[in-house]
Structures are given as structure tokens and as C-alpha cells.
Structure 1
């Protein structure tokens, strides 16, 4: 069990009634709650959603708070400060004055910083400090009006070879304030991507998806991400730039295994974080198995830190891997299925 869940169990007597668990870890916490606790879960991570579904838990996936009523909420601290503000605002808007919201997380995950974000909503006290974690209790002293999702967007402009794009990024989405270096290195090469059915794996705020749409109206873009806020951001980016939504298909995925088949190309600035942890599993699996989702002659385009061993993984799967660029600490990697090896 995660240390943050152990701290919740230590303070179990504070829990009562219908309790909403927000951003809960995928562990055994639910089975350790008393039978009189009616627990439900809100997550925006599709992997976590599927985990709790398999437990037959009451779980909601999306950017919005579940519609069902709840008496208390336990928030497991997310990595993003802006995302925590969004969560707290939405929870307080749903709860009566005097309600309880618990905040729990690891010290290395920033729980002490996060606890300061409770202050605008009421009185907050520290309940526990153990297992390198802290648990805080907020008693709300106000009600607030919920803000529309669009009001939480951060906008920034990206100059591309095909003109400027206006990017819409919701709280917690990768590269929320500015274009990241890896995508900036990749963008000039996207005009070389074959046209047709193209998957943007780990679409984030939709920079790559929007550019693929902008440069070729015949492209059909599949925006794939594990994060509901990323998927919503990509759709908002399309709408902001007046790009045709019929070109776009948004899909929540656990990994590249959920991508469509018979694609003309897969393009990715692949993800490497799972919460506050570095996790290369999704991107390494992409390198190893992407060709299963490509047509004959289909292409893989990846940008990644130059120190990663992705060229070797791609070469083992495709038989070859070409470095199209090596600059600012990133490599643009290309492979296609014309020289493919037989499936293992």
C-alpha cells in the first residue's frame, strides 16, 4: 500500500458517509475502508480508471467532478499546483459550508506547499505526519460558484512553418505555459510525415495534432492520451484555431496498444512521467510495438532526449532507425515498415 494511503487509514476515524477519493493511488486502500464508508473515485488518468473498474469500484473518469453527491473528499496531491487549485475550487463549489476536505501526500511530492493552497477555502490543520507523508484537514467556510472548464485554460502561441497556432492547455497538462523544446525540435519535420491516418501518441495540449491538421486537410488525426485534461485541451486547441473537428478523433488510451490499426503514421513526443515519478514504460513500449499499428510503409516519428536508448529499440523492431535531427539535447527519430522484420 502507498504511504499516503497508510496515513489515511491511520486517520480513518475522521472519515464518514460518502467519501470522494480524488487522484487516489492504485493500491488496496478501498478494501481497508470500513463498510459504512461509501467510497467513490474521481480520476483523469485512464490507466487508473481501468484499475478501479476492475475492482468494481464506483469510479468516474474525466475533467469534471462526479455528479453524485458526497459528504467529504480526500485529495491525493497531484504534481501540478494549477491542477490542485482546479480540484479544490470544484470540490468546494459542491460542498456545504462546514464540510471537510482532506489533503494527503508525500513530502517529496510537495504536500507542504500544497497545504498552503487550502487556506483560501477555510481553516486547515495538519492531522498527521508519518511515512514521509502529511495529511491535512480543511473545514470549508464558504461556498463558491463553479467556473467553466474554459476559464482554466492557459493560452500561448506557437510559430510554425505553416503559420501561428494558438494552444489551449488545461491545468496539469504537459507544457502548459509554453512550447516544450522537444516538440519545437520536431515541428519542422512534420511536413515530411506521410498523409492519411496519423496517431499523435501522448497528444498533450494538441500542438502536434493541430499542426498535422493545419498542414494537410486530408489528414485524419487520432489524438491519444492517458489524461482527460490533455484530451480536452487538444479539442479546445482545434476549436481555437478553427480546425475541422471531423479531422480529429480523440481517444483515451492506456498505451500504444490501444491505438488504431493500419495507421499511415505515428508521431510522438512520448510521455515519460507517471505522476511525480519518471516512467519510460509507455514510450519504450511505443518504440518496440508501434509497427504493429502501421500499414505497410507506415512511418514512426519520435522526438526524445538524446541520452535515451530509443534508436536501439526502434531498430530492433523496424530493422532500421534514422536520426533526422540532433539538437538542443533532443533527437528526431524516424523508421518505417518497408524494411520490417517478421513479427516475433
Structure 2
């Protein structure tokens, strides 16, 4: 479900509502799209193409009848757009690459319109778009900043656009062991919480397992490397950009175990029965809002998906309020390790979920 008050989304459409810009007649592309009443107030379903790689947001757009495509589909289409709307991410290289794509996808006379909250890089985003293509105007409201280009006439900095377009390309990390890209969680390193969890994985894990919130695949790769009796592993990940990396990172491991890659919102529940689950669950939204209820839901879903006697191995920040849901969901719970503000928790499912 879309948030009731999405300040960046509302402010993105302010230039149109206030009369600073006219809503275009031609096709419109919305990068990192989110659903909400401002979108429904201005756009027509046959005019708008939405690109969204985060499954909960994509699902909300689909439920409202919008056309949702992934990055490859948009890039493979020859359509050029009268306007490209952008909700840039906080990570600057990722945002710059998004601006580069937006400018490249404009039709002559088209404009890029972007918006960020002030504490999510709005000033930097405005400066970057101005550097790339010039600034046509800006408005501030709701602790956010909306800004846009002048109509495209080919005068943007094409050399800069090409450099920025490559900023979020996949590249190797951790001495070449893995592939990653800016913007995904812990994109350029092994997350210390996940590393702590890996240290506690028993070598005799066996059977069919699941990785909830798999990211670019580090936990799954370590499970398969350390636990030879694991015969199958399903990776559940809401961010399609991360899941694509996991496919690459686990390509060789697929020769010895059956792998499933699920672009899925774990909080919506999962199907299947598993012998074990590993998880480093998220505890905030893509906008960095603290949401411990997401981790709590991961725990409940894991318990429902485990066979009797199956185990959950999870890591969490020490302060997060997970004890109640763990005790309610599992027959036995214990803390296996603590370090640097993190805790590894093992829950064993009893005879009933």
C-alpha cells in the first residue's frame, strides 16, 4: 500500500499543480516511481510508463493499473519521452546515473523533473542536474525540493552524461569475489552483521533453505560454500537490482544445489516449507525511515515457512525489539553471538507455528 503522505511524491508534482509547468501531452516516464494521489491526479494510464525495481512499490503501482517496466525493458524501447519524472535515491553515484538515463530518454523539447527531501540529498541532486543539463526552475515545500531542466535541445553536457551513465554499473568487490553496484545494501563491502551471522552457521545445515532479504547474495554464497549438505536454496529479495547481482554471484554454486531467485516482498508472506532460513532482515524503508516492524514480520514469515524442528538463523541490531515475536513464533530461542552492536539469534520451530 502506498504511504498516506509521501512528501517527495507530492512535491514532485507541485510545479504542475502550481502552474510553473504544463503537464505534457506526449508519453511520460517515471523513474523510481511510487503510487499516490498526485500521480493519479495528473497522469493517464495510457500515457505513463513507471520504472520501479523495489517490489512493494512496484506492486502498489500495478494494483493501481499503472504500466510497470524494469530497467532493461525501458532501455530496450525506442520511445523518447516528453517528460521524465525522477525520485532520485540518496546514493549519489546511483542518482547521477539515473539523471544521465533520464536526459538520454528525453524527446526534443522534453524536460526532466526531479524531487528529493532535504535530508536525502536534495541540494546535491539539484546541483548535479544543473551541472548536467541546466536548471529551468525549482520549488520547495514539505521539506522537499522539486527542480527541473529547461526543454531539451541537445545542449546538455554529453561527455558528462556518458561518464555518469556508467557510475552505477556492476563491478567486482571484495577482491573480485562478488559483483555489486552502487545503491544496493552494503554495495561495496561485506556487511559486518552478515559476516557475524556467517561465523555462526553450522556446517551440518542440510536440505532446502531460504535466504530472506538476500541482497546481492553474500549470505547465500556462504551457506553454499560452508554447508555441503544443502541441496536447494531460495533467495527472496524485494530489490530487483540486488537480485540480479545475486544471480551472477551464485551462478557457479547453481551447479551443485538447486537455486530459486524470487523478486518478492517477504512481508507479504512466502510459500514453501523449509528446513532452515537465514536472514539479515531490513529495518528501514528505502527512504531510511526506521521500521522495526519489517524485521518482526520477517521473523513471523520465517516461522510459518519452517518445517517442525527447522531453524531460523538471523542477525539484528542489538537494540531492535524482536524478543516478543521470536518467543511467540518459536519453540526455542537463543542468542548465539553478540559483537559490535549486533546479535545472532537462532530460533527453532516447535511442532506448531
Shared fold, TM over 0.5: yes
Task: Verify the 8 A CA contact 1:198 1:220 in the aligned structure 2.
Answer: yes
1:151 Cα deviation after fit: 7.2
> Partner residue of 1:157?
174
Distance 1:86 1:296, change over 3 A: same
Q: CA RMSD in A?
A: 2.7
1:126 Cα deviation after fit: 3.4
> Partner residue of 2:208?
197
Alignment of 1:134 with 2:138, yes or no, is no
1:179 Cα deviation after fit: 1.3
1:80 Cα deviation after fit: 1.9
Alignment of 1:244 with 2:254, yes or no, is yes
> Partner residue of 1:233?
245
- Which of 40, 60, 69 does residue 31 from structure 1 map onto? 40
Task: Give the unaligned 5+ runs of structure 2.
Answer: none
Aligned equivalents of 1:247, 1:292: Cα separation in 2? 22
1:52 Cα deviation after fit: 1.0
> Relative to structure 2, which stretch is displaced further, 301-310 or 121-130?
121-130
Alignment of 1:185 with 2:196, yes or no, is yes
Aligned equivalents of 1:207, 1:138: Cα separation in 2? 40
Deviation digits for residues 87-121 of structure 1 (CA, Å, limit 9, x no counterpart): 22222333346531111121122211122222453
1:10 Cα deviation after fit: 2.8
Task: Verify the 8 A CA contact 1:193 1:299 in the aligned structure 2.
Answer: no
Task: Verify the 8 A CA contact 2:234 2:260 in the aligned structure 1.
Answer: yes
Task: Verify the 8 A CA contact 1:127 1:136 in the aligned structure 2.
Answer: yes
Aligned equivalents of 2:323, 2:67: Cα separation in 1? 42
Deviation digits for residues 245-300 of structure 1 (CA, Å, limit 9, x no counterpart): 66321101111544332111110011112122122222101222322111122110
> Partner residue of 2:7?
3
Aligned equivalents of 1:236, 1:120: Cα separation in 2? 34
- 3-state SS of paired residue (2:188): coil
> Partner residue of 2:271?
260
Aligned equivalents of 1:228, 1:8: Cα separation in 2? 24
Deviation digits for residues 25-56 of structure 1 (CA, Å, limit 9, x no counterpart): 33212221065982221101111111111111
Aligned equivalents of 2:143, 2:269: Cα separation in 1? 36
1:229 Cα deviation after fit: 0.9
Tell me how many residue pairs correspond in the alignment: 333
**TM value normalised by structure 1:** 0.87
1:225 Cα deviation after fit: 0.9
> Relative to structure 2, which stretch is displaced further, 12-21 or 36-45?
36-45
Task: Verify the 8 A CA contact 1:201 1:256 in the aligned structure 2.
Answer: no
> Partner residue of 2:179?
168
Aligned equivalents of 1:199, 1:149: Cα separation in 2? 33
> Partner residue of 1:56?
65
- Which of 294, 317, 320 does residue 308 from structure 1 map onto? 320
Aligned equivalents of 2:121, 2:139: Cα separation in 1? 15
Task: Verify the 8 A CA contact 1:197 1:264 in the aligned structure 2.
Answer: yes
**TM value normalised by structure 2:** 0.85
- Which of 275, 280, 284 does residue 273 from structure 1 map onto? 284
> Partner residue of 2:56?
47
Task: Verify the 8 A CA contact 1:49 1:61 in the aligned structure 2.
Answer: no
> Partner residue of 2:23?
15
1:124 Cα deviation after fit: 2.0
- 3-state SS of paired residue (2:247): helix
